[in-house]
């Protein structure tokens, strides 16, 4: 799909200037996590670059003004520009504050071609909003955003060639980029030439997404579908929302409702349509696009930014609505069916997860890949086989599929603790004789007690045995065991296994 991207040069600095915080023609830098996110033309002329540390930037320009990154401010100031683009094109999606995109087919047909459409839009933004915008056109939205940096129009079918010569750093994934450069992969073309299977095995899902982008394919790894009508959420307000703080609170409640509705169905969305109706019947709508999945916080932020943009420009006498918001509706788009989306160990996707990932990669660099591992479900009959440890960052592909039938596996509630090394025990009957299991899977006598280390415990209840006879056709690797569940007199429940005539505790139930 041909796409048009509209980007405003040095947008965070311009937004700060429009908000009365800075002059874009003086040395100004916008910082995020102590690094330069954007710099004014004057600062760039002095050598300040994106990604530079604060101390290094101030070393080049001691008198430079420093402004903190504020996405809410950027979104608020960007709203009139998106509205101006919508004067000439429909279906505009906000990628991030300072950058929006749309399908090229409609504007190109209406204005007589893609070049003409881009020229008309930029001239309109200069006349109405007083900003210098750049247009990029390519076969994918991500490629179009890169083309917008230089105002380039990539002919149909030439997007892979355009991307091939770009440095790997344009992916915007610092950890992945650093690793690629250390491996000798310095351009997108070299990265795209790698087999997708090898990329997935080495770099995981993030690497596969980057590989698709580098190859000039759609960056969305999963195919979106049209959302069912009942996924949208809306709310009406007897007293129209006039103030930004009122709208932010109402928008957060609605965002949480939407996320809960999606999560309850195992779904997530990558685009969000925000619609509002004012007290006098004006209808407002804006679509926000996100590269990944929109979490509760991400949905809430975009709703707050959008409502802030609408109400702020109304209160300032701009081109926003003329009355307060009486009804608000959120509609998810780009719906993705998930195999069980859940919050990660370090919270939702964001800085916490990224910091944890960077720390894990550093540890692996010092101690080896096996120093940091993650557990993934696997196939098998014993509890120790049903979970395997994969090096952090590798594709979570277990050696045996977990969704196959595994005759002999215990299908009840799994144990809470699986011992790394089974602990040997003696299982005894009432007379104190060892309990055995015959070749016909018959237990010699009911278990009455066990000797576990220095302690002796009475068996209150027991169940089994459950036999497992694996690889009987290959004597070298054949395995034949029997398992029993025992409840001890102290209330503990354990899973025991008999192999080669010896009993052991394999797992413990909570």
Token pair of 392 as six digits: 């952090």
Do 47 and 64 form a contact (C-beta atoms < 8 A)? no
Do 502 and 424 form a contact (C-beta atoms < 8 A)? yes
- pLDDT given at position 222: 38
Q: 73 phi and psi, to 5 degrees?
A: -65, -45
- pLDDT given at position 457: 92
- pLDDT given at position 318: 56
Q: Residue 465: is the preceding peptide bond cis (ω within 30°)? A: yes
3-class SS letters over 305-322: HHHHHHHHHHHCCCCCCC
Do 61 and 39 form a contact (C-beta atoms < 8 A)? no
d(Cα 322, Cα 317) in Å, to the nearest integer?
Answer: 9
Instruction: Give span(s): CATH 3.30.1490.100, the chain.
Output: 229-337
Do 265 and 228 form a contact (C-beta atoms < 8 A)? no
Instruction: Give span(s): CATH 1.10.150.20, the chain.
Output: 159-214
Do 506 and 496 form a contact (C-beta atoms < 8 A)? yes
Consecutive 10-residue runs of the chain (510 residues): their mean pLDDT? 85 78 79 83 86 86 86 84 86 86 88 90 89 90 88 90 90 83 90 86 80 78 48 89 86 88 79 89 84 75 86 65 88 68 50 67 75 81 80 68 73 79 91 89 91 90 87 81 90 90 89
- pLDDT given at position 161: 92
Radius of gyration of the chain (CA): 30
- pLDDT given at position 350: 47
d(Cα 15, Cα 10) in Å, to the nearest integer?
Answer: 9
* CATH architecture of the domain with range 159-214: Orthogonal Bundle (1.10)
pLDDT digit string, tens, across residues 66-75 = 888 888 888 8
* CATH architecture of the domain with range 3-148: 2-Layer Sandwich (3.30)
Give SS3 for 139.
coil
- pLDDT given at position 449: 93
- pLDDT given at position 328: 93
Instruction: Give span(s): CATH 3.30.70.270, the chain.
Output: 3-148
Return the CATH number of the domain spanning residue range 229-337.
Answer: 3.30.1490.100
pLDDT digit string, tens, across residues 481-505 = 898 999 998 888 999 999 888 999 9
- pLDDT given at position 137: 93
The end-to-end CA distance of the chain, in Å, is 54
Among candidate residues 404, 372, 373, the one with its CA nearest the CA of residue 386: 404
- pLDDT given at position 368: 73
**Pairing mode of beta strands 233-241, 35-39:** unpaired
CA 192 to chain centre: 22
């Amino acid at each position: 799909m041909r796409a048009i991207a509209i980007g405003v040069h040095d947008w965070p600095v311009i937004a700060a200037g429009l908000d009365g915080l800075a002059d874009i023609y003086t040395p100004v830098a916008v910082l995020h996590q102590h690094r330069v996110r954007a710099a004014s033309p004057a600062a760039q002329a002095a050598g300040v670059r994106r990604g530079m540390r604060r101390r290094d930037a101030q070393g080049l320009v001691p008198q430079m003004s420093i402004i903190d990154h504020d996405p809410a401010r950027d979104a608020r100031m960007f709203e009139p520009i998106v509205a101006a683009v919508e004067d000439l094109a429909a279906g505009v999606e906000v990628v991030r504050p300072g950058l929006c995109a749309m399908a090229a087919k409609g504007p190109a047909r209406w204005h007589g071609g893609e070049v003409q459409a881009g020229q008309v839009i930029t001239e309109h933004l200069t006349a109405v909003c007083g900003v210098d915008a750049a247009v990029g056109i390519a076969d994918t939205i991500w490629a179009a955003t890169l083309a917008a940096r230089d105002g380039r129009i990539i002919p149909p079918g030439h997007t892979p060639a355009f991307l091939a010569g770009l440095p790997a750093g344009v992916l915007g994934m610092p950890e992945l980029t650093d690793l690629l450069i250390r491996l000798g992969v310095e351009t997108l073309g070299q990265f795209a030439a790698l087999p997708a299977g090898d990329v997935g095995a080495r770099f995981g899902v993030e690497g596969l997404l980057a590989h698709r982008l580098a190859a000039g394919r759609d960056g969305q790894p999963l195919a979106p579908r049209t959302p069912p009508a009942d996924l949208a959420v809306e709310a009406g307000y007897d007293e129209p929302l006039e103030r930004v703080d009122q709208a932010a609170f109402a928008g957060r409640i609605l965002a949480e409702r939407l996320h809960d509705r999606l999560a309850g169905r195992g779904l997530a969305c990558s685009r969000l349509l925000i619609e509002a109706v004012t007290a006098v019947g004006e209808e407002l709508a804006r679509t926000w696009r996100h590269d990944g999945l929109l979490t509760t916080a991400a949905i809430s932020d975009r709703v707050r930014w959008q409502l802030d943009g609408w109400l702020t420009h109304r209160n300032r006498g701009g081109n926003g609505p003329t009355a307060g918001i009486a009804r608000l509706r959120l509609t998810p788009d780009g719906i993705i069916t998930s195999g069980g989306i859940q919050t990660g160990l370090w919270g939702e996707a964001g800085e916490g997860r990224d910091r944890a990932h960077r720390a894990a990669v550093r540890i692996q660099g010092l101690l080896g890949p096996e120093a940091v591992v993650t557990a993934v479900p696997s196939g098998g009959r014993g509890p120790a086989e049903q979970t395997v440890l994969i090096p952090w960052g590798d594709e979570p592909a277990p050696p045996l599929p977990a969704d196959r039938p595994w005759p002999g596996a215990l299908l009840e509630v799994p144990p809470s603790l699986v011992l790394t090394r089974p602990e040997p025990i003696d299982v005894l009957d009432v007379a104190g004789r060892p309990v055995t299991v015959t070749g016909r899977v018959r237990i010699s006598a009911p278990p009455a007690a066990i000797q576990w280390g220095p302690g002796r415990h009475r068996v209150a209840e027991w169940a089994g045995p459950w036999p497992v006879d694996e690889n009987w056709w290959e004597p070298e690797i054949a395995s034949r065991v029997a398992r029993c569940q025992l409840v001890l007199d102290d209330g503990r429940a354990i899973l025991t296994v008999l192999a080669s005539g010896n009993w052991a505790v394999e797992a413990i139930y909570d």
